[in-house]
């Protein structure tokens, strides 16, 4: 076989180096040039044999870096939202606070609304995990009004900054179809998880609720939201303590009412 000209061999080496291989003398490269017959006598042409290149996997570091960037943007968004309010916050301010490019922000989130929904999703997920966190060994055999109230209180967080921000965004969502639909879906999903936990608690205590658990969860959420909103409007250090006491009383009353109706003939409501 006629050896390939130097220029051809150099081209092969350059192609190999771009693919991470190194064809050299005495080696059998994954690809290169081979001589083939030419249409004219005395001439030799060369054909490139494709180099086999395995696509490099996406480095784990890259996915970790993206996750860290997303977390930084969310943390910065919360700080900016808390200080400026939802309406006053801008993406430019969030980018500056996070120390990332605007492209990095848009890679993870579509808009300011999308950012807030992501923050809410994190909050609701953390709250759901807290509700489910009680180990089985710590569960007393009897569900009492006090225990019911305590579990409901565990799900409440009197974070003034967050509550102000949530209600501000809720007003925005109430006026716009898509944010409103998405917010309602997120809250509905949270209530569904709470309903499952309520059902487990009551069945453990031998109580068959007279009220569908999804509706019961909605009642609890409505009471909690109303008490939290009322606490926002009060001034003084006692507002949170009063809100917690009010919530405990409301949950105890709700438990007693649910349990008593369940024990009445025909008291179970399937609607």
Q: Ramachandran region of residue 264, left (φ > 0), alpha (ψ -120 to 50) or beta?
A: beta
Q: How many domains does the chain have?
A: 2
Contact present, 226 and 140 (Cβ < 8 Å):
no
**Do 149 and 258 share a domain, yes or no?**
yes
Residue 38 lies in a domain: yes
**Do 137 and 45 share a domain, yes or no?**
no
Predicted confidence (pLDDT) at residue 227 exceeds the cutoff of 80? yes
Contact present, 217 and 191 (Cβ < 8 Å):
yes
Task: Report the pLDDT value the prediction gives residue 55, as an integer from 0 to 100.
Answer: 56
**Do 32 and 139 share a domain, yes or no?**
no
pTM for this entry: 0.64
Task: Report the pLDDT value the prediction gives residue 35, as an integer from 0 to 100.
Answer: 47
Angle (nearest 5°) at CA 239 between 214 and 131: 30
Give the tens place of pLDDT for each residue, 102-159. Answer: 999 999 999 999 999 999 999 888 888 877 765 444 455 565 666 666 666 665 667 7
Residue 227 lies in a domain: yes
Q: What's the mean pLDDT when you consider all of the chain?
A: 75
Residue 80 lies in a domain: no
Predicted confidence (pLDDT) at residue 26 exceeds the cutoff of 80? no
Structural domain harbouring 35: 6-49
> How far is Cα of residue 14 from the mean position of the Cα atoms in its chain?
46
Most confident of 54-68, 106-120, 227-241: 106-120
């Amino acid at each position: 076989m006629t050896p390939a000209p130097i220029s051809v061999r150099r081209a092969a080496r350059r192609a190999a180096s771009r693919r991470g291989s190194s064809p050299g003398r005495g080696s059998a490269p994954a690809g290169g040039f081979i001589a083939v017959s030419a249409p004219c006598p005395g001439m030799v042409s060369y054909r490139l044999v494709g180099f086999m290149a395995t696509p490099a996997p996406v480095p784990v570091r890259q996915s970790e870096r993206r996750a860290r960037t997303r977390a930084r943007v969310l943390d910065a968004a919360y700080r900016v939202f808390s200080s400026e309010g939802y309406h006053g916050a801008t993406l430019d301010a969030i980018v500056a606070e996070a120390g990332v490019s605007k492209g990095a922000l848009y890679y993870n989130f579509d808009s300011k609304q999308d950012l807030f929904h992501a923050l809410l999703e994190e909050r609701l997920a953390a709250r759901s995990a807290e509700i489910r966190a009680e180990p089985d060994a710590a569960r007393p055999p009897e569900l009492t009004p006090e225990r019911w109230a305590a579990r409901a209180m565990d799900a409440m967080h009197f974070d003034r900054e967050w509550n102000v921000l949530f209600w501000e965004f809720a007003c925005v969502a109430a006026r716009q179809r898509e944010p409103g639909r998405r917010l309602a879906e997120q809250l509905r999903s949270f209530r569904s998880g709470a309903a499952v936990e309520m059902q487990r608690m009551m069945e453990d205590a031998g109580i068959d609720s007279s009220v569908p658990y999804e509706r019961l969860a909605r009642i609890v959420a409505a009471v909690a939201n109303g008490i939290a909103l009322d606490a926002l409007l009060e001034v003084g250090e006692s507002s949170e303590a009063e809100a917690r006491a009010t919530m405990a009383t409301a949950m105890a009353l709700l438990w007693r009412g649910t349990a008593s109706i369940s024990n009445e003939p025909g008291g179970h409501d399937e609607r």
